[in-house]
Amino acid sequence: MGFFYLKFLKPPQLAPLKGPSGSFTLTTVFTITSDLGDVYFTDSIDIRATLSSGSAILLEKTISWTNGSQFVRCDMPFQSSKIPSTGLSGLVLSLSPVPSEVEGRLADGIDELCRIYPDPSIQVVSASSSQTKLKGKNLFAASHLVERRLKLRTTGDVLKVWEETGENIAGHVWDAGIILSAYLDHYADKSSGPLTKLHSRLNRKEEFTAIELGSGCGLVGLTLATVYPKSTVFLTDLSEAEELCRRNLELVSTTTSGVDFCVLDWYDTAIPETIPKDTADIILAADCTYNTGSVPALVKTFERLTENNRDAVVLLAHKPRHDSERLFFELMEDNFDIVERTDAALPKTSDWEDEDDGGQLPAQAVNLYTFKRK
Ligand SMILES: C[S@@+](CC[C@H](N)C(=O)[O-])C[C@H]1O[C@@H](n2cnc3c(N)ncnc32)[C@H](O)[C@@H]1O
């Protein structure tokens, strides 16, 4: 099936209550859906909502999400005596699944990439709101953005990636992207891994250049740039992805300077000059093959990026979603060979059925491929 993502349908708002002054209600509405937003989480789970200001926790509440839920409203009473000396404008609300097993508690809203690959023990990805800002005279509200906080195994850093709350395809993290990030983090300090051609290019002590196509909010490229500090990584996508991606670029560690964003539309015949197409070592894409309409343009872009650079490794993270995605592999066959493949398991919900559903493939794994020019 795949991962499910906590999403704010109504960003947290703090409003004064009628009656005695100094009483507020913090309100939010959230949902838990798949990356496509087409399936609600079907298991019952407790979600912990934590309101914090810096490292201080101001409020906590556990809310139940039950099988059949489509959204949950959360109201938390808040007294002005709890207001930190810094005021109300820096509050953050995090939503995290309450772990079923007893284990050390991570700070709120943080998920570990080591629990996503190789054995996914996380099924629901946490969310944190933006900091509440003063809005109007007495009302405080977070923006329509969600922050994913992913702890890297290799460096211990927490990678922070902002997403949009709506259905914009480029505006949020997708299953193949989160799996590929966890894969890269898992093998970063190992000398090899199942994709040996890829690992012969990845070395934490050596410089290399990577170009990511369809980077969306940038999770994969930012992971690569963070766990391989000597790399140079170009994130690319349509112009509508630029603002969010640049916002995320600003959040990565200052030691990770070799990462930038550039608009690269697969339908454009020319590759922008800033992209080092003839010298890149790795060209990667995650979850970019779901739309058969744009697949020929994507394949052409891989061809353009490798026609004078035939040694480059093309890395693809593919979550099989539909039979029609065969087209990508058929078109790639003209100029590329699949060199290696490894499959990364996806978590399953309790109502999982191993049945084909009229051409909709029940994805059990994200398939990671490397390709080389013929
Ligand atoms: C499903 S999202 C995957 C995002 C990200 N790689 C991830 O895994 O989280 C597909 C991405 O491909 C981008 N895309 C779609 N058509 C494109 C095109 N013609 N040129 C460049 N990027 C495109 C979208 O904007 C979007 O960011």
Q: 300-325: per-residue pLDDT in tens? A: 999 999 999 999 999 999 999 899 99
264: Cβ–Cβ under 8 A, 6 or more apart, which residues? Answer: 213, 236, 237, 271, 272, 275, 301
Q: Is the pLDDT of residue 360 over 60?
A: no
Average pLDDT over residues 149-169: 89
For the Cβ of 294 lying below 6 angstroms from any atom of ligand 1, the answer is: yes
Backbone angles phi, psi at 334, to 5 degrees: -60, -40
Beta partners for residue 244, in sequence order? none
d(CA 263, CA 258): 17
Q: Lowest-confidence range among 89-93, 207-211, 291-295?
A: 89-93
Whole-number mean pLDDT of the chain?
A: 88
The alpha-carbon radius of gyration of the chain (Å, integer) is 21
Instruction: Say what the pLDDT of residue 172 is.
Output: 86
Model confidence pLDDT, tens digit, residues 343-352: 999 998 666 5
Q: Lowest-confidence range among 51-65, 196-210, 233-247, 289-303?
A: 51-65
Q: What's the 285 CA to ligand 1 centre distance in angstroms?
A: 8
| DSSP conformational letter for 90 | T
Q: Which CATH number fits domain 4-150: 3.90.198.10, 2.60.120.620, 2.120.10.30, 2.60.40.150?
A: 2.60.40.150
d(CA 332, CA 58): 53
Instruction: Say what the pLDDT of residue 161 is.
Output: 95
pLDDT, greater one: 206 or 86: 206
Q: Lowest-confidence range among 100-104, 165-169, 331-335?
A: 100-104
For the Cβ of 125 lying below 6 angstroms from any atom of ligand 1, the answer is: no
d(CA 59, CA 26): 10
CATH number of the domain located at residue range(s) 186-373 in this protein: 3.40.50.150
pLDDT, greater one: 59 or 108: 59
Average pLDDT over residues 80-98: 81
Identify which of 288, 295, 328, 367 to mutate to test ligand 1's pocket (most ligand atoms within 8 A of the CB). Answer: 288
For the Cβ of 266 lying below 6 angstroms from any atom of ligand 1, the answer is: yes
Q: Is the pLDDT of residue 254 over 70?
A: no
Q: What's the 171 CA to ligand 1 centre distance in angstroms?
A: 9
Residues of the chain with CATH 3.40.50.150: 186-373
Average pLDDT over residues 215-238: 95
Closest ligand 1 atom to 285 CA? 6
Sign of CA dihedral 153, 341, 201, 215: negative
Instruction: Say what the pLDDT of residue 359 is.
Output: 46
Q: What's the 312 CA to ligand 1 centre distance in angstroms?
A: 21
Q: Lowest-confidence range among 37-46, 133-142, 205-214?
A: 133-142
Q: What's the 169 CA to ligand 1 centre distance in angstroms?
A: 7
Q: What's the 328 CA to ligand 1 centre distance in angstroms?
A: 15
Is residue 184 a contact partner of residue 155, using CB atoms and an 8 Å limit?
Answer: no
Residue for token digits 């960003």? 11
8: Cβ–Cβ under 8 A, 6 or more apart, which residues? Answer: 28, 29, 30, 95, 127, 129, 142, 144, 146, 165
pLDDT band at 353 (very low <50, low <70, confident <90, very high): low
pLDDT band at 100 (very low <50, low <70, confident <90, very high): low
Average pLDDT over residues 242-254: 85
Instruction: Say what the pLDDT of residue 144 is.
Output: 81
Residues of the chain with CATH 2.60.40.150: 4-150
d(CA 99, CA 321): 29
Q: Is the pLDDT of residue 27 over 50?
A: yes
Instruction: Say what the pLDDT of residue 287 is.
Output: 96
Identify which of 146, 237, 263 to mutate to test ligand 1's pocket (most ligand atoms within 8 A of the CB). Answer: 237
d(CA 313, CA 365): 22
Closest ligand 1 atom to 290 CA? 1
pLDDT, greater one: 101 or 214: 214
Q: How far is CA 222 from CA 124, 152, 159, 249, 346, in A?
A: 21, 11, 8, 7, 22
Model confidence pLDDT, tens digit, residues 112-155: 999 999 999 999 999 999 887 766 555 667 778 899 999 999 99
Q: Which two tokens stand for residue 135?
A: 């809005």
Indicate which residue's Cα is closest to atom 20 of ligand 1.
Answer: 265
Indicate which residue's Cα is closest to atom 25 of ligand 1.
Answer: 170
3-state secondary structure 64-89: EECCCCCCEEEEEEEEHHHCCCCCCC
Task: Report the percentage of the chain scoring pLDDT > 90.
Answer: 67
Q: What's the 74 CA to ligand 1 centre distance in angstroms?
A: 33
Closest ligand 1 atom to 180 CA? 8
pLDDT band at 102 (very low <50, low <70, confident <90, very high): very low
80: Cβ–Cβ under 8 A, 6 or more apart, which residues? Answer: 21, 22, 23, 24
pLDDT band at 363 (very low <50, low <70, confident <90, very high): low
Q: Lowest-confidence range among 38-42, 237-241, 252-256, 305-309?
A: 252-256
Identify which of 125, 159, 169, 244 to mutate to test ligand 1's pocket (most ligand atoms within 8 A of the CB). Answer: 169
d(CA 280, CA 277): 6
Instruction: Say what the pLDDT of residue 45 is.
Output: 93
Closest ligand 1 atom to 212 CA? 6
pLDDT, greater one: 41 or 87: 41
Closest to 129 (Cα-Cα) out of 108, 112, 151: 108
Q: How far is CA 76 from CA 12, 16, 62, 142, 203, in A?
A: 10, 12, 10, 15, 48
Beta partners for residue 8, in sequence order? 30
